[in-house]
Amino acid sequence: GQSLEQPSEVTAVEGAIVQINCTYQTSGFYGLSWYQQHDGGAPTFLSYNALDGLEETGRFSSFLSRSDSYGYLLLQELQMKDSASYFCAVHPGSARQLTFGSGTQLTVLP
């Protein structure tokens, strides 16, 4: 089976840096994705890691350690609009279904 664990809530202030961790246990692993979802909205793709290391996309970075079954999403220079739920999701195989964590609710305070 598959299971992913991530914190349920994180709070930070505008301009700060926040890290959202994700640990996973899966029967197959092809990569780890991160999605952002605002209340009532669709999940929006943020980043994808298939290999160990750091991927940077603007203010967002994502890290993967396959040997530790661990990844994180790093958000820098937080803005109010970053308040949303963030999900890590495992790809058990190429072009296959995503298995999502329960999500981390990020609240950015002024």
Which residues contact other proteins by CB under 8 A?
4, 33, 35, 41-45, 48, 87, 89, 94-103
Output the CA–CA distances (angstroms, integers) from residue 100 to 14, 45, 76, in the order listed: 27, 13, 23
Whichever of 37 and 65 has its CB closer to other proteins, that residue is 37
Nearer of residues 42 and 110 to other proteins, judged by Cβ = 42
CA distance 84 to 82: 6
Give min distance, CB of 54 to other proteins, in A: 19
| DSSP per-residue string spanning 74-89 | EE-S--GGG-EEEEEE
- Name which of 31 and 61 has its Cβ closer to other proteins: 31
